[in-house]
């Protein structure tokens, strides 16, 4: 698909531009993004299936550690899992069934969520760490944050192409973040923890100053400057 796009771009740059090529290029951009997403999903499923028979291997533990908490050790994770099983109070089979049901999508909240990796730049990462209200640990650069914690103005949801003066807008399957985006919204936490960006007020409308009038000497009539010849 990438080679096809390059061929279409070369044809499109010739003197005779046409709308058909422009639409084909826009559609090809969307197909490339969808194909890349499907390939990444297939690679993830293949990785998980390959680890199913190697549950005690080092590579499996490294993956689990990254998913659970990269900062904790294997022993600490084992203590947490045993504590969860003990607090559950049921049999191991009932515990696994509860975990399986908890992974189902709720029909009410089945909307697709988008996740964004924390910035690798140390200064930007510190800004995110100060913005996210967590007391148990600091946000590592390997974690991801859901789109629910960002304002709509921080999200890039569309591809915008300017082709021969015409603006072509294509919805993105995978949203992106602007460079200065910071997580500010925390809907499941107390409201005082959410700190949305301040909205700038529109500039005040300037009005023309009122015309000054003065009284004519000798009587009480009020006239404008034009009436007395000034």
| pLDDT > 90: percent of the chain | 8
Helix (H) or strand (E) run with residue 58 in it: helix 58-68
Distance CA(197)–CA(10), nearest Å, equals 44
Query: Which residues lie closer than 8 Å to 11 by C-beta, 6 or more apart?
Result: 21
**To 10 degrees, the CA torsion angle through 53, 57, 59, 63?**
70
What is the C-alpha to C-alpha distance for residues 132 and 182, in angstroms, rounded to an integer?
9
pLDDT tens, 126-138?
A: 999 888 877 767 8
**Considering the chain, what percentage of its residues have pLDDT values greater than 70?**
66
d(CA 61, CA 54): 10
At residue 2, the pLDDT reads 64
Which residues, in sequence order, are CB contacts of 217 under 8 Å at separation 6+? none
Query: What pTM did the predictor assign?
Result: 0.40
Question: What integer is the mean pLDDT of 205-210?
Answer: 73
- pLDDT score, position 106: 45
Question: Which two structure tokens, joined as six digits, stand for 99?
Answer: 């975990």
182 CB contacts (<8 Å, ≥6 apart)? 127, 128, 131, 150, 154
């Amino acid at each position: 698909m990438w080679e096809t796009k390059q061929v279409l771009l070369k044809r499109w740059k010739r003197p005779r531009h046409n709308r058909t090529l422009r639409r084909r290029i826009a559609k090809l951009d969307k197909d490339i993004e969808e194909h890349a997403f499907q390939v990444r999903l297939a690679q993830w499923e293949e990785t998980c299936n390959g680890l199913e028979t190697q549950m005690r291997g080092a590579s499996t533990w490294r993956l689990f550690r990254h998913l659970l908490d990269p900062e904790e050790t294997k022993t600490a994770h084992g203590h947490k899992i045993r504590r969860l099983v003990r607090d559950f109070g049921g049999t191991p089979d009932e515990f696994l069934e509860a975990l399986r049901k908890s992974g189902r999508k709720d029909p009410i909240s089945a909307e697709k969520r988008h996740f964004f990796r924390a910035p690798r730049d140390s200064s930007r990462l510190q800004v995110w760490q100060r913005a996210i209200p967590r007391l148990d640990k600091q946000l590592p650069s390997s974690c991801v944050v859901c789109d629910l914690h960002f304002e709509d103005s921080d999200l890039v949801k569309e591809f915008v192409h300017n082709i021969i003066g015409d603006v072509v807008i294509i919805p993105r399957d995978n949203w992106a973040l602007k460079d200065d985006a910071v997580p500010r919204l925390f809907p499941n936490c107390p409201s005082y923890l959410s700190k949305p960006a301040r909205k700038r007020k529109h500039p005040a409308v300037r009005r023309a100053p009122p015309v000054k009038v003065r009284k004519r000497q000798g009587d009480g009539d009020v006239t404008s400057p034009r009436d007395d010849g000034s």
